[in-house]
């Protein structure tokens, strides 16, 4: 499991820098970077707060592939790009967090 920041999409808002509990992303020349990716434990806070889906989580193809998240009010739309070229969208209501 790892995350990757797409520099082309990043608008340098700094949200990932603010939210990361490990202070891992940094801003340089108006773009976010992850200098020590091996320290990331994949909590996904930065994915959820990135306003332009510039951060992706990579997990095994069998359980999702490449995932990004889009916020829509209380809803989080997890978009999984699967190895076969298709997409799967899983919508989660953030108000239900910790419910299960």
By CB under 6 A, name the binding residues for ligand SF4: 3, 5, 10-16, 19-20, 22, 24-25, 32, 40-46, 49-50, 52, 54-55
Listed in sequence order, the residues at least 6 apart from 8 whose beta carbon sits closer than 8 Å to its beta carbon are none
> Judged by CB, which is closer to ligand SF4: 38, or 96?
38
With the C-alpha atoms ordered 36, 58, 46, 42, is the resulting torsion angle positive or negative? negative
Residue 87, by phi and psi: left (phi above 0), alpha (psi -120 to 50) or beta?
beta
Q: How far apart are CA 25 and CA 47, in angstroms?
A: 12
> Judged by CB, which is closer to ligand SF4: 63, or 86?
63
> Judged by CB, which is closer to ligand SF4: 71, or 84?
71
Phi, psi of 49 (to 5 degrees): -95, -15
> Judged by CB, which is closer to ligand SF4: 1, or 83?
1
């Amino acid at each position: 499991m790892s995350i990757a920041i797409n520099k082309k999409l990043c608008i340098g808002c700094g949200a990932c820098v603010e939210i990361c509990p490990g202070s891992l992303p940094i801003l340089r020349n108006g773009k976010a970077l992850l200098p020590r990716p091996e320290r990331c434990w994949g909590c996904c806070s930065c994915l959820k707060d990135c306003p332009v889906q510039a951060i992706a989580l990579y997990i095994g193809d069998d359980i999702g592939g490449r995932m990004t998240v889009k916020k829509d009010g209380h809803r989080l739309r997890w978009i999984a790009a699967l190895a076969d070229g298709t997409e799967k969208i899983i919508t989660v209501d953030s108000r239900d967090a910790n419910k299960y």
